Amino acid sequence: MAEEQEQVSLKKTYFFSPGYVLPVIMEKNNIETVVKNFEVRDEDVFLVTFPKAGTNWTLEIIDAIQNIDNIDILKERSLMEKVPLIELGPSTHPEMVEEGITDVPSICQVMLESVPEGSPRRIPTHLLPDISPTQLFTKKPKTIVVDRNPKDCLISLFNWHQSVRFLDPCTWEEMFAAYMKGHTIYGDYCVFTKAWAKYKNEPWVLWIRYEDMKKDHKGSVRRIAEFMGKSLTEEQLDEVVRVTHFLYMKKANETIKGREFILRPEGVWQRKGVSGGWKNTFTVAQNEMFDKDYHEKMEGYEDLKYDL
């Protein structure tokens, strides 16, 4: 274990368990106790994603659907409130203190549990099932899983490292090498996808692809709303589409409250939101290496595989 810890490829990350890396803004003890024992409510909507698989966008859609009668509330959200990852905080690690990020509480303990009983909660997570809240699998609230081409996830994660204060900037070569070792945050994409695939066909789970959401924004909003048990009119669907259009969200987030706390001065919260952007960055050799690794790991999961 000690030897493996020395091999963490990217700064501001640590081994939560052998082969599983998390950013230091998340605390191991908090996840193993507070998060694991989190009390789930029937009205909760969980969102499960691998990092950079469309988390922000899908949360905005869920938020807009939940608050369709008071949609202006979306403008009041701070950047931290936009993506209240259940595993986030508290920020006690020396590297966070050095960054000046010292007052992030346990999101699980403070923000989510402060929502009044009966009020809808959006609960996003990137965690593997075995360290997610136990009650997620006993109470089985509505849970949306968004999948995305792993190459696009990696490109987006690389740019995320350049933008946020709680991760360290790195070169593309460093990011690619770390990913191939399974040392990027939240570990290996294939391990994550296969772990959650166990629940793919459960009635309380909606499995949806980022690429399908891009192709049919309104149809995806309708599908998500129906899954959540919300009956929206065509006008309401159009309104959700309007406020969750990429350019609308990108502009709104340029002046959002709490931006300077999370982002570097030159940082970008939402960059391009496109599919296939990896083609502009991967070398031929990297692409071949990635494909071989991906197809070997995803063997037997043909229904989940992307045509890379």
CA dihedral 203, 193, 14, 104 (to 10 degrees): -40
Q: What is the pTM of this model?
A: 0.92
Look up the domain containing 224 and give its range. 2-297
Query: What are 227-278's pLDDT values in tens digits?
Result: 999 999 999 999 999 999 988 887 777 676 666 677 765 656 555 556 667 8
pLDDT at residue 257, as a whole number: 64
pLDDT at 259: 65
pLDDT of residue 3: 41
In a domain, 244, yes or no: yes
Q: What is the mean pLDDT of residues 15-20?
A: 93
Which pLDDT does position 248 carry in this prediction? 80
Q: Specify the pairing of strand 142-147 against strand 205-209.
A: parallel
Give how many domains the chain has, as a whole number.
Answer: 1
Does a structural domain hold residue 302? Answer: no
What is the domain-level CATH number for residue 27? Answer: 3.40.50.300
Active site annotation includes 126: yes
Task: Name the β-bridge partners of 144.
Answer: 47, 206
Contact 35, 131 (CB under 8 A): yes
The answer to whether residue 17 is domain-embedded is: yes
Among 126, 161, 183, 217, which one carries the catalytic annotation? Answer: 126
- pLDDT tens digit sequence for 104-145: 889 888 877 788 888 889 999 999 999 999 999 999 999 999
- Asked if residue 305 is part of any domain, the answer here is no
Residue 57 Rama label (left phi>0; alpha psi -120 to 50; beta): alpha
* Residue 304 covered by a domain: no
Give the span between the Cα atoms of 308 and 292, in whole angstroms: 10
